[in-house]
């Protein structure tokens, strides 16, 4: 009998040992737990980043809200980012609303066209209306040019 055959038999005998089966089970559980922990750890920074953006968008600081909304423009095609920016169209501060409109245009958020038209029709602040008009034009709705025309000709006036 060769050494490799003897070693193979010893390994096979060890694998049938009930103590070794428990050790294999513990090892498998450890590897599974490690795999889960690694995937959770990888998601943690992603979740943390969204938490920072959500906190910034609802901050008491106007400057923080504006900067947060502008940063969302760097995340085109993301429903969560679009949702945060759409919510900012209702902000009490006109600069935040304007930033939200421009961000939605830059993101290519065609789903926001209806909300942008609501802003164009109802907002009292000229800069917000003009930002929304620019956004709808960026999103492919040429009717936004009519807003520019109405402002230039004096048909539409702001406070």
Query: Which pLDDT tens digit goes with each residue over 72-88?
Result: 999 999 999 999 999 99
Rg (the chain; Cα; Å): 29
Contact 84, 54 (CB under 8 A): yes
DSSP state of 90: T
State the angle between helix axes of 62-71 and 18-57 in degrees (0 to 180), rounded to the nearest 10.
120
Query: Which pLDDT tens digit goes with each residue over 30-57?
Result: 555 555 555 555 667 788 889 999 999 9
Of 26-30, 106-110, 137-141, give the lowest mean pLDDT range.
26-30
Query: How many Å apart are CA 117 and CA 139, to the nearest integer?
Result: 12
């Amino acid at each position: 009998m060769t050494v490799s055959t003897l070693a193979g038999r010893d390994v096979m005998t060890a694998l049938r040992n009930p103590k070794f089966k428990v050790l294999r089970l513990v090892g498998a559980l450890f590897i599974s737990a490690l795999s889960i922990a690694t995937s959770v750890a990888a998601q943690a920074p992603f979740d943390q980043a969204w938490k920072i953006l959500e906190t910034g968008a609802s901050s008491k600081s106007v400057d923080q809200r504006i900067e947060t909304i502008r940063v969302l423009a760097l995340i085109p095609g993301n429903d969560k980012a679009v949702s945060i920016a759409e919510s900012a169209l209702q902000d009490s501060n006109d600069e935040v609303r304007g930033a939200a409109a421009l961000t939605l245009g830059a993101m290519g958020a065609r789903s926001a066209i209806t909300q942008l038209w609501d802003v164009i029709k109802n907002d009292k602040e000229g800069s917000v209306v003009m930002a929304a008009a620019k956004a709808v034009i960026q999103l492919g709705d040429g009717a936004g040019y009519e807003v520019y025309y109405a402002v230039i000709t004096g048909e539409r006036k702001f406070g």
